[in-house]
Amino acid sequence: MEEYLQATTFCDWQAPEILGLAEEICQGAFTEKERALRIFSFIRDEIYFGINNMKTKATGVLKLRTGECGTKTNLQIALLRAVGIPARFRVTRCKSEALRGIVPDWLANRMPPVVSHFWCECFLEGRWVSCEAMLDRPLYESLLEKGQIELEQIPTIDWDGESDLRVLKPWIVEDRGILASYDDIYEMMDKSRGEEGIPPRIVERLLGWMIYWYLRRYTDKVRKRR
C-alpha cells in the first residue's frame, strides 16, 4: 500500500501549495470518506477539463487550474495522498469519439479511434473505489444541452464516496489494470505518442504552449455555451 502514498516527480504532493490546499479543503472533515469527497468535488469543479502538456506536474495543474484525464487525475491523487488516503490510476483504452465536442473537430478527426484514458481509484473502508472527476459541472451541463452527450451515456458526475463512478464508461473498450503514479503514465504515453495522437516532441517543444493554450480556450468556449 505504501506505493500508493508516495510522492514522485510528477505527483509532488509534498510541495507546500499541495499540502496547504489539502489542509484547507479537508478542514473539519473527520473521516477519510468525507475528505475524499471534498477533494473529488474540488478536482471536478475547480480544476476545469482542458488539454495540458503531459509533462505537467500536480503543482502545475494547480497553477493552470485545468487538466485532462491524466494530469487532472494526478492532482486528485496528489491531494488524496497528502491527507493519507492511498490512491492510484486505473488505466483503460477509450474510444476517442468521447472527446467530440470537447476538442476542435480538426483534432478529433485526426485522433486514433482508441486512446488511453485514466481515472482515480482511492482506498476507502477496505476497498478500492473509482472516483472519476474528469468533467467539471459547467462543461458537463453544456455538453448535455448541446446534445454532444446524452443523459443515458453519462447519467451523473456526482460521487457518493461508496459506489464506483466511471464517467466515460460507455466508451471504454479495454481495461489495462492499474499504475501507481503519473510517472508511469508519462513514460507509457511518451513512448506511444503516435498511437495516442500526442504531438511529436519537436512540435511540442516549439509550438506546444500555443497548441495547449488554444485547446484550453476552445474547451472553455464550449463550457460557456457560446
Residue 92 β-bridge partners: 117, 175
Domain boundaries, the chain: 2-223
62, 21 contact by CB (below 8 A): yes
- pTM for the model stands at 0.92
13-43 pLDDT tens trace: 999 999 999 999 999 999 999 999 999 999 9
Question: Is the C-alpha dihedral spanning 60, 94, 181, 87 positive or negative?
Answer: positive
Q: How many other C-beta atoms are found inside a 10 Å radius of the C-beta of residue 172?
A: 17
* For residue 62, pLDDT beyond 60: yes
174-221 pLDDT tens trace: 999 999 999 998 888 777 666 555 655 645 554 556 788 888 898 999
pLDDT of residue 199: 57
Q: 131 phi and psi, to 5 degrees? A: -140, 75
pLDDT of residue 226: 47
* CATH architecture group of domain 2-223: Roll (3.10)
Pairing status of strand 48-49 against strand 66-67: parallel
Rounded CA separation 1/82 (Å):
15
Residue 195 one-letter amino acid: E
Write the CB contacts of 46 (distance below 8 Å, at least 6 apart in sequence): 65, 136
